[in-house]
Amino acid sequence: MTSPRKPLDGFRDRLCRPAGLGRTVALLIPYGWLLLFFALPLLIVLKISFSESLLAIPPYSPLVEWVDDATLQIRLSLANFQQLLQDDLYVVAYLNSIKVAAVSTAVCLLLGYGMAYGIARSAARWRYLLLMLIVIPFWTSFLIRVYAMIGFLKDNGLVNNLLLGLGVIDQPLAIMHTAWAVYIGIVYSYLPFMVLPIYAALDRLDPSLLEAAGDLGARPWKAFLRVTLPLSMRGVIAGSLLVFIPAVGEFVIPELLGGLGTPMIGRVLWSDFFANRDWPVASAVAVAMLVLLVVPVMLFDRYGARSLRERR
Amino acid sequence: MAIGVASGLQDKPWTDPSARPYVRIEGLSKSFGDVAAVTGVDLDIFRGEFFALLGASGCGKTTLLRMLAGFEEPSSGKIYIDGVDMAGIPPHRRPVNMMFQSYALFPHMTVAQNVAFGLQQERLPRREVADRVRQMLDLVQIGGLARRKPDQLSGGQRQRVALARSLAKRPKLVLLDEPLGALDRKLREQTQFELVNIQEKLETTFVVVTHDQEEAMTMASRICVMNAGMVEQVGTPHEIYEYPISRFVADFIGDANLFDGVVDATGTGSTRISSADVGDIVVEGGGAAAGAPVTVMVRPEKIQVLAPEAPDPGFNTGEGIVREIAYLGGMSVYHLELPSGKRIQLARANLMHTAETPIGWDDRVRFHWHPANGVPLLA
């Protein structure tokens, strides 16, 4: 005779079975990581964005407070978000950030697609060398690479000296501290993130598909438009998101290379946090940026990616 | 398999020296680096033919097909299609369509879009494209699958889409690379006849690459047997099977018994050859010099079992011990060991449920073949 099973037996079995236990642990690690280092900080920032600035440590008002012995008071201040809409500085910075990120993404896409296509088409013995050349800059710190760009772009830097030496120009070009420098910096820094996913998509492409397109009468550019491009679209989208999203919030590049003419939201955020010590407004800036970026990406993932899957 | 008779096409254009071939291949060679894939191929293929390039993998048949399609440039030699030199003409400007071994269906397009692709390149009106797509899908009997994606199809259905796509532009020449290679045996046999019917209905020229000799025999009007990048023999399935010109062809197509010997005497209309294995061999035809070495091929089903009381014919005869019996249902193949130690194969149709003279293991069997059934091989 067997004893009747209690309601929790199944759960305990699953948890304690060796394989089940391993599975649970394996799942706990990534979820725990995400919870601790992503969800929790995000919630803290969200919390601060609803508080008021104080001259104290920490420099913001508590969200939840005992007013007297029997009253728990939650104060949600929306003033910070209101300020984002009212102060031109923030609106201009957001719009400019999106413009800079969009243009940089477009330039990265044009350059990166060409590079990825070239690598995918090159002889096998060259391919890994070329891929290495794309990856090697990552071996140096991002910050150092951006600093090094100053040496290239400044008035008596490499580019100007070269152009002056060749006689192309007789006055040094003012590149540093302009939008040009920011664009050059972002495109240079983020290009690998565009090249690699597009290369991966092109590498998977069966070459006989292009032969079939040619055989059916498609000129090479037509075969590219109707076969290569749609089948590499996943790489294009992945690369574009990998460039666009960090470029919107970019701080280091506009700070080091840009001037006052290129307000970007990352710089505004930084000065609110560290120069003004206004954590609540800075947190509101961060939350607004997240919503601005995440919502369209999620919508795209829901609808765009699905239609892409169906096309596969 | 008669071809194109009803359409007014000549039945056997290759027998008419004045007929103009649709495809003419002259001295065609192709090497990749140091490796010669195709060497000195000359071929004429006529309008309306179902022409098979047959050979083991790596014999150069696919490279030859790819040169016809324009995917590979010949290292030397010429290809003329309908009298036009194809040198330097890219694939998209050739009057040729190909069905790929992997099918190469566009995974992001539906079945209908795949079939329409070639027609759209010709800038046909939308309505005409749709009509033609429907016709093609009906022709290959997958009209109901137009909206499916290739990954929602079975292997046999994909094969039909690939075929429909290669036929959609009504090309005068269709190249098929192992068109039935990925199908299972039953489906392959059905599809063989369908392919021939479609080819007759459309009156196009098919050039098909295959490694399957049965497939080539069933479908083709003529077969080109290739070996190591060269053409061994071109002929109708009947010619290739009954009159192979080389050891390679004799061995590659069907089973063959090969007897080595030396020409003894040449008479009028027949030649006597002496062989260590079966004594005297007589074959039809003359002209060989006495003393020349020669190999005679006899197909297993063309060797008869002699009754014990039958008189000794004196030539083309011998006796052997049965070492193996392969029962194939419709026929049985007996492996005989001759006194010289050579093994030969002898096939008998199983005409009755019970044979009158059953042959068992270790039986002594006398055999004989008619002089017309021995084929002297040139190489």
Binning pLDDT at 50, 70 and 90, where does residue B6 land?
very low
Q: Taking a contact as any Cβ pair under 8 Å apart, which residues of chain B between 134 and 153 contact chain A? A: 149, 151
B102 is written with which tokens? 């992997």
Interface confidence: ipTM more than 0.90: no
Least confident of A136-145, A207-216, B71-80, B278-287: B278-287
Percent of chain A with pLDDT over 90: 58
Which pLDDT score, from 0 to 100, does residue A7 have? 57
Instruction: Tell me the average pLDDT of chain B.
Output: 90
Q: What is the pLDDT of residue B7?
A: 41
> The tokens of B86 are what?
């194809």
| Fold type of domain B255-377 | OB fold (Dihydrolipoamide Acetyltransferase, E2P) (2.40.50)
Quick check: B83 pLDDT over 80? yes
CA distance A253 to A146: 7
CA-to-CA distance for A188 and A142, rounded, in angstroms?
Answer: 11
Query: Are the beta carbons of B104 and A219 separated by less than 8 Å?
Result: no
Average the pLDDT over B284-297 and give the result.
84
Of the given ranges (A160-174, B2-16, B60-74), which has the lowest mean pLDDT? B2-16
Q: What is the mean pLDDT of residues A26-52?
A: 92
For the residues A114-134, what does the mean pLDDT come to?
94
Interface contact flag, B104 A216, Cβ < 8 Å: no
Residue B67, pLDDT > 80, answer yes
Domain boundaries, chain A: 87-277
Range name among A182-191, B24-33, B236-245, B290-299 with the lowest pLDDT average: B290-299
What local confidence, expressed as pLDDT, does residue B159 receive? 95
The mean pLDDT of B236-246, rounded to a whole number, is 94
The first and second tokens of residue A59, run together, are: 């420099």
The string of pLDDT tens digits covering residues B97-137 is: 999 999 999 999 999 999 999 999 999 999 999 999 999 99
Q: Determine whether the interchain pair B100/A222 forms a contact, defined as Cβ–Cβ distance below 8 Å.
A: no
Q: What's the rounded Cα separation, in Å, for the pair A244 and A240? A: 6
CA atoms within 13 A on the CB side of A261: 10
Which pLDDT band, with edges at 50, 70 and 90, does B3 fall under?
Answer: very low
Q: Does A231 touch chain B (CB under 8 A)?
A: yes
What does the pLDDT read at residue A146?
A: 93
Which of B67, B92, B122 to mutate: most A Cβ within 10 Å? B92
CB B279 within 8 A of CB B316: no
Distance CA A203, CA B357 (A): 66
- Report pLDDT for A15: 54
Question: Distance between CA atoms of A272 and B313, rounded to whole angstroms?
Answer: 114
Interface test with B, best of A209, A215, A226 (most B CBs within 10 A): A215
- Tell me, what's the pLDDT at A292? 86
With CA atoms as reference, the chain A residue closest to B113 would be A226
pLDDT band at A66 (very low <50, low <70, confident <90, very high): confident
Considering only CA atoms, which of B221, B295, B217 is closest in space to residue B256?
Answer: B295
A229 vs B contacts (CB less than 8 Å): none
Residues 6+ apart with CB under 8 A from B173: B22, B23, B68, B81, B95, B96, B97, B204, B205, B207
Range with top average pLDDT, A58-67, B168-177, B355-364? B168-177
Among A216, A220, A231, the residue with its CB nearest the CB of B117 is A216
Q: Find chain B residues with C-beta within 8 A of A220's C-beta.
A: 92
Residue B4 has pLDDT above 50, yes or no: no
Inform me whether the pLDDT recorded for A189 exceeds 60: yes
Taking the Cβ of residue A226 and every Cβ of chain B, the question of whether any pair is shorter than 8 Å is answered with yes
Query: Per CATH, is B13-95+171-251 categorized as 3.40.50.300?
Result: yes
In chain B, what are the domain boundaries?
A: 13-95+171-251, 255-377
Task: Measure the CA–CA gap between B100 and A133, rounded to whole angstroms.
Answer: 36
pLDDT band at residue B5, thresholds of 50, 70 and 90?
very low
d(CA A141, CA B19): 75
Least confident piece of the model among A263-277, B64-78, B220-234 = A263-277
> What is the per-residue pLDDT for A312?
46
Give A288's Cβ-side CA count (13 Å radius).
24
Name the 3-class secondary structure at B371.
helix
Instruction: Tell me the residue ranges of DSSP E strands in B203-278.
Output: 205-210, 222-227, 230-235, 257-266, 270-275
Average pLDDT over residues A50-60: 86
Q: In this predicted model, what pLDDT tens digit does every residue of A84-103 receive, in sequence order?
A: 999 888 999 999 999 999 99
Q: Residue B8: what pLDDT?
A: 41
What's the topology of domain A87-277? MetI-like fold (1.10.3720)
Q: Which stretch of A208-222, B20-34, B91-105, B255-269 has the lowest confidence by average pLDDT? A: B255-269
Averaged pLDDT for residues A268-278: 90
